[in-house]
Amino acid sequence: MKNLLKSPRFLVMIFTIVYFLVAFFLLTISATISAIFIITIAIVFLVEPWIKFATSKLKVKRWIAIALGLGALYLTLILIVVFLFQPIANQASSFYYTALNFFPSDKSAELSIPEIEFRLDTILSEHKQENTISDEELNALKKDLLSYFTEYELSSFEDLPVEDIAKGKFAVILPVKKKELEKEEITRIISSHEKFSSSATSLADKIWERTSGFKSEENWRSTFGWLVDSLIKKDENKNEDDTKLEEIEERKAQIMSSIRNILIEVQLKFREYLTAFLEKLPSLVSATFSVMFFVIIGTVYLGYYFGDFKKHLPEIYPGSSRGLAKRFLKDTYGNLERYVVAIILVALVTGISVGIMVKILGLDYSLLMGVWAAITNLIPIVGVVLEFIPLFLLVVSGQNWIALVFLLVFLVTIHTVAFIVFLKLMKGYTRINPVLIIVMIIIMAQLFSVAGAFIAAPLAIILKKFWEHFIRPTLNRV
């Protein structure tokens, strides 16, 4: 045991664990710092194969290769933001209502202030496209309407007298009746703004319709109604003599009621996550600019000095164990670099293919669906399910069953091809067990929310390399 504790392999293992814990602690301090670090590393890993090719095959100096690689990458991102961001945002806003129209109506459910603000933005943006109105006038009306809705939201509780409560006793405080939301007041607020006075009534009707409780077209009924009818009809044919029509209808109603209750819970969760996202959106937008500023600087400097960084990194280990450390770091880096290139390439191909297929099928939101598919495919295995959900809602909302069949066939085909391409790109490199990836995604998503799902697979690669280089050889020697 003493020889084991003094062995170079054990020293590298201990130092690696310490450095890993320090890095983990630093990344948990700030989400912004974590984003800058992870995005910078990912971009450098992405352009490094090009830099190697340009410097070795094309005999180009490293700084020129870095400038060309990063320049092309950032120019592409700028073009996407300039030309595609607004159309994608518009499609996302419109698809929001399409998705919600699938779920059951719930008159008892009330919209949160972020949801109301989002709907007001959508309604006023639609109104602006039809009329000549400045942003200042639009924002002024939005501010007054939000003030009214906020006042309405806060009216759910009244000041209650504070009385001494004996120790060990419990008091139940019940909300009093909420102040009534009045369409006439919304009309009055709109009419007070000169540019909107002529269309105050129609605009108030639209705002009232979209903000007074959760309403939908309940497209779920046609989808699940057909499925339930098909199942019950089969059962009816088997029990034609014993089952009464009333009992069949009652059973159908019970099944549909159960499905409705489940979908209401799903709808509430969906709106809960959306509300949380909308509340964080302003801070996310402002943080994005600072993150990208430091990412650009970081990728330029890290890209230029990356060779020296890799050369001197083993020096953080004891001298007697640097050979083992160098092999571990080189193996881990090679696998991470290949994984980043492979997953991004597969995600881009899948996203473009899905967007084109949605367009060919004559469905709306092809641009949004393509971008969503590209993003979700950066998450192995689980991302495929996340990709399918909005596509399913899109197709069933239009009750286009033929399109659904074609879409399913296409998705199976494209993901089979994508899987084969991914395996080809990762040939000779580490392959992670799908169960381990799913477990890592669950753990990292709990620790780091959505961002954790994207870094789960790279972390699984690091852990597997750590196991292969240190844990397994150590256990074999014991």
Residues 363 and 91 sit within 8 Å (Cβ to Cβ) = no
- The torsion defined by the Cα of 241, 246, 251 and 255, in degrees rounded to 10, comes to 130
pLDDT score for 160: 45
Mean pLDDT of the chain: 84
pLDDT score for 162: 46
3-state class of 90 per DSSP?
A: helix
Judged against a pLDDT cut of 90, whether residue 71 lies above it is answered with yes
Residues 390 and 375 sit within 8 Å (Cβ to Cβ) = no
Best CA proximity match to 123, nearest among 97, 86, 149, 161: 97
What is d(CA 343, CA 348) in angstroms, rounded to the nearest whole number? 9
Residues 8-21 have pLDDT tens digits of 888 889 999 999 99
Judged against a pLDDT cut of 80, whether residue 231 lies above it is answered with no
pLDDT score for 152: 64
Q: Rg for the chain (alpha carbons), in Å?
A: 29
pLDDT score for 19: 92
- Residue, of 464 and 168, whose pLDDT is higher: 464
Mean pLDDT of 327-348: 93
Judged against a pLDDT cut of 60, whether residue 41 lies above it is answered with yes
Confidence grade of residue 159 (pLDDT, cut at 50, 70, 90):
very low
Residues 93 and 123 sit within 8 Å (Cβ to Cβ) = no
* Helices 113-130/200-211 angle, 10° precision: 150
Token duo for residue 142: 């939005």
Residues 373 and 392 sit within 8 Å (Cβ to Cβ) = no
Residues 309-332 have pLDDT tens digits of 999 999 999 888 899 999 999 999
Candidate from 36-45, 82-91, 116-125, 149-158 with smallest mean pLDDT: 149-158
With a pLDDT cut of 70, the percent of the chain lying above it is: 89
Residue 2: which H helix or E strand, with range?
Answer: helix 2-6
